[in-house]
Amino acid sequence: MSRSTTWPDLAGRLVNSGHVLPVRVYFEDTDFSGVVYHGAYVHWCERGRSDFLRLLGVHHNELIDGSEPAAFVVRRMEFDFRAPARIDDVLEVHTNVESTRAADVWLSQIIRKDDKDICRARVQVVLVSQSGKPQRLSGRLRDAFGMGVAGKGKK
């Protein structure tokens, strides 16, 4: 609580129907070719999804209809790399809900550098219980995501 006051943008911001998270390129994200390693984009997108949920106020015990604890896992991901990023760059991860179904969500994630799309991803996440079984999304969660989808349609 006090941390979110001290560092107001640490979880990014809700914008329009989605979410944006700034990320800095550090040593750990680059490789010897001189540009960002392709695996770094996977980490950044996961951070974007986590902080999107965080700012939607969706807590773990609200994720499913029932009482069993559950978590989102990635079922499929597609990444298109269009231009490289480099050390010290500031990038933005833009996350939007593309569609929701009973037990899964498709997200569109775009990484931008100076307002240019350098990577576009689509990620399908599924809510599973600790035993690994897919779970229905709660109405509360679908509402939160659904507003995003509706908002997108109106643009």
> Which residues contact its own copies by CB under 8 A?
3-4, 6-11, 22, 24, 26-28, 30-35, 37-39, 42-43, 46-47, 50-51, 54, 71, 73-81, 84, 86-88, 90, 132
For the bound state, the minimum distance from the C-beta of residue 28 to its own copies, rounded and expressed in Å, comes to 5
| 31 in catalytic set | yes
CB nearer to its own copies: give 39 or 139: 39
Backbone torsion region of residue 129, taken as left when φ is above 0, otherwise alpha when ψ lies between -120 and 50, otherwise beta: beta
Closest C-alpha among 66, 40, 35 to residue 139: 66
Q: Which residues contact 128 (CB under 8 A, 6 or more apart)?
A: 70, 71, 72, 73, 134, 135
- In angstroms, give the least distance from the CB of 27 to its own copies: 5
- Residue number, 11 or 149, with CB nearest to its own copies: 11
Least CB distance to its own copies at residue 138 (A): 19
Integer CA distances (angstroms), 50 to 26, 30, 31, 54, in order:
20, 23, 25, 6
Catalytic positions, please? 31
